[in-house]
Chain A
Amino acid sequence: MPSSSRVRSGRDLVRLKGVGASAVGLLLAIAAANPAAAETDLFGRDTLSGVLDARLSAADGETSFLDGGLGKTQYSGGGANVAVRPTLDLAALVWRPQLGGDLGASVTAQGQSGQTHGIDLAEAYLQYRPVPHSATRFGWRVGLMWPPASLEHDGVGWTTTRTLTPSAINTWISEEVKGVAAEAFVSRDIGGHRLSVTAAAFGENDTAGALLTYRGWALDDVRATAFGTSPLPQLRSDSYLRLPDDTQPVVNLDGRPGGYAKLEWRPPAPMALQAFVYDNGADPGAVKDGYWGWRTTFADLGLTARPGAGVEVLAQALAGHTYSGPYTSRGWRNDVDFNSAYLLATEVQGRHRFTVRGDAFEVKNNAAPVFGEHGEHGWSATGDYAYALTPNLSLWVETMHVWSGRSERSSADLLPGQPQNVLQIAVRAAL
C-alpha cells in the first residue's frame, strides 16, 4: 500500500539519520581513543573520493521493473518505440578515514535514479588491514558491505569498470546480496601460488531472492542501499497473486545469521580462480512489516585471465536456490532454482577500452504453478566502448540486447518472449 510504504520511508529516514550520526560519533571516538592518533586522518583531502555517472539512454521493449513491469533493464521503452531519456545514473561519495594503527573505515553514500531515498548508504564498514610481515597476510571488515562475489565491481565505490551495466549475476549481487557482516581474510603465498580465504557471518540480508523470484534476472545498475527498497512487478493487482509493493534487501526478519566464504587461487600464470558460497540462513517462515524471509543459498565460480597485454577475460557461473513462505498444503509458496553465467572479454589500447559480454540466465519454478509462474530463461549480448578523456573523465557508449522468455507475461496480455535493446551514452567523472 502507498501509505504503508510512506510510513516505512519516514521511519527509515529517521533511522538513517540516527545511524549516520552514531557512525560518525563512533569513528571520532575510536580515532580519539587510539594511541596512534598521529596516524589518523579523518577529513584530509585523500580520505574523499567519488564518482559521477550521467547518462543518456535510448531503449525499446517492455516496461521496466522499476515502473511495475517485468522489463529486464532499468529503462522502459514503448514496445517497438524508442524512449530517450537523460538520467543521473549514480553519484557516489566515498569517505575512507584512517583511524590509526592500520584501522580504517569506508563509508559510501550514493544517490541514483530509481533509488528510494535521495541519498542513502551503500556501504559503511570498519577495516583492519595490517602491513604484512611475511608471506601470510590477513585482515578483517565489519559493517554494511557487499560480499566479495563480483569480478566486475572493482571501481571506486563498488562501481563497474569494464561495462556500464553489470552482468545478470552481478546485477543481482548489487541489488539483493548485501548485509551487515563480520568478515575475515587470510592469504598466503606458497611457491609462486597465492591462496586466499575470506569468510563471514552476516545478518540483515533476509529477503535476498525476492526480486530474483518475482522479477527474475535483470541487467541494470540500480544498487541496494541500507534503507532503500526495490519495486516488484505489479501485473496481477486484481488477484490473490498480487505481489507486495516492494522488497527491502537490507533487512533483518528473524535474528538468524547467515554466512559466506570465498576461496581464491592464483597460480603462477596470468589467471585466478575463485569459488564463492553463500547461505543467508533466513527463516522462510519469518514475516515482519509485510516482508517474508527468503532462504537463499548459492555457489559461484569465477575466472579472471589476462592472456595478453591489455586483454582480460572474466567469467562467472552461479547456481542457487531460494524459497519463501507461507508454507501451504502445496509446499512453500515460493520456491525457485536460479542459474546464470557470463563471459566477458575486454581490451585496453591506450585511452580506448573495448568490451563484449554474453550472459545467459534461467529461473526454474519449483512451487505450485497456482502461486505464480516465476520460471524464465534468457540471454543478453553487450558491447561497450570507453574513451578516457582525462585520467578522471571518461566517455562511454554501450549497446545491449536482452531477450527473455517468461510465461507469467501471458497473464498481463504480453507475449512470453520479449526482446529489448538499450543504447547508453555516459560521462563518468572520478572525484
Chain B
Amino acid sequence: MRHILSFLIVLACLPVCARAADLDVHVRTARGAPVSDAIVTVEPEARTPAPLRFTQPLAMAQRGLQFDPFVLVVPVGAEVRFPNEDPVRHQVYSFSPTKTFELKLYGKDQTRTVRFDKAGVVSLGCNIHDQMVAFIKVTDAPFAVKTDASGHAVLHGLPVGRATIRVWHPYMKSPNGEQKLDLAIPRTGSIAQSFTAELRTPAMRMPGY
C-alpha cells in the first residue's frame, strides 16, 4: 500500500513550533545504488511536548505469498493489523525478543491485530510459507520515515537544535543494523544528509517445511 509505504510519523508539536526545518535524507550503497526500506529516525535533544500521533492505519498485509510492506515502522504502543489478502491461510509469527507472538492460521479477508509495546526490531515469518519475510521497526523516536525506492526520505517540521539521526535497515552491515549521526537542525529551511550503507545478502528463502 502506497500510503503505508510513504507514511510519516506526524509530530503533535507541528502547530506549536511555528519555525521548523525539513531533513532530506539519501541512503545509498558505496557503489551508489539506492537503499530502499531504510528507516530514518530523528530524536531532538529538546523534549517533545506531546505524544506521537499517527494519521494512517498501521498494517502488515499478506499478499501474493509475501508480506507487504517489507519494512514497517510503528511507534511504541502501536496496534498493527495483519490483514490476509491471499486465498490461502497464513500463520504469522515472531520470536524476536522485542515481541514474541504467533497468529494461529487464518484465511482470506480475515485480519488479526498485534500490539507492540517495546521499542526494537521484530522480524516476521510465516510458518506455512518460508519465503515470507518482513520486519517491523518499533520506535520511540518522535520522527520516523522510510526511504523510498530511490533511497530518499524527507522529514518535515523538525524542531530547532541538536538532534540524533539514526538510519536502520534489516540487512545493514553495522552494529544493530544502524548508523547514528548528531546534527544541528537549523531554524528554517531544509538540510540534506547522505548515508552510505552496505547491505548483507540474506540466505535464500524458498517454499518448504
* Chain A residues within 8 Å of B, Cβ to Cβ: 39, 41, 44-46, 49, 98, 102, 129-134, 137, 139, 148, 154, 185, 187, 189, 192-194, 196, 198, 266-272, 304, 306
Contacts and interface: CB of A to CB of B under 8 A. Distances in A.
13 contacts: A44-B107, A102-B127, A129-B128, A130-B127, A131-B93, A134-B95, A148-B208, A154-B206, A193-B203, A194-B203, A269-B203, A269-B204, A270-B204
A53 to B, nearest CB: 19
Interface string B104-125: 1101100000000000000001
Given A41-B105, A98-B105, A131-B91, A268 B203 contact: yes
Contacts of A139: 209
A267 B203 contact: yes
A139 B207 CA distance: 14
Contacts of B2: none
Interface in B172-209: 200-204, 206-209
Q: Give 6 nearest A-B pairs by CB, closest first.
A: A266-B203, A46-B107, A131-B93, A194-B203, A185-B209, A131-B102
A294 B207 CA distance: 32
Interface in B67-110: 87-89, 91, 93, 95, 100, 102, 104-105, 107-108
Nearest to B202: A268
Contacts of B102: 131
A267 B202 CA distance: 8
A189 B88 CA distance: 27
Given A131-B102, A268-B201, 4 more contacts: A129-B209, A198-B209, A266-B204, A270-B204
Given A46-B88, A131-B102, A132-B127, A272 B206 contact: yes
Contact of B95 (A132, A193, A194): A132
A45 B202 contact: no
Main secondary structure of the interface of B (DSSP, over half): loop
Contacts of A193: 203
Given A129-B127, A192-B202, A268-B201, A46 B207 contact: no
Contacts of A306: 204
A154 B209 contact: no
Contacts of B125: 132
Contacts of B202: 192, 268
B206 A131 contact: no
A100 to B, nearest CB: 10
A129 B203 CA distance: 21
Contacts of B208: 148, 196
Nearest to A392: B87
A49 B201 contact: no
Instruction: Kindly name the residue among A41, A46, A129 whose own CB sees the greatest number of chain B CB atoms within 10 A.
Output: A46
B201 A187 contact: no
Interface string B150-185: 000000000000000000000000000000000000
Nearest to B100: A133
Contacts of B91: 131
Nearest to A431: B87
Given A129-B127, A132-B127, A134-B95, A189 B203 contact: yes
Contacts of A46: 87-89, 107-108
B200 A192 contact: yes
Contact of A154 (B100, B105, B207): B207
Contact of B88 (A49, A98, A185): A49
Contact of B201 (A45, A133, A185, A269): A269
A130 B128 CA distance: 10
Contacts of A154: 206-207
Given A132-B95, A132-B127, A137-B209, A39 B104 contact: yes
A129 B200 CA distance: 29
Contact of A39 (B87, B105, B201, B207): B105
A249 B95 CA distance: 42
B107 A272 contact: no
Nearest to A49: B88
A272 B204 CA distance: 7
B93 A304 contact: no
Given A39-B105, A98-B105, A154-B207, A270 B88 contact: no
A199 B20 CA distance: 62
B51 to A, nearest CB: 33
A198 B88 CA distance: 26
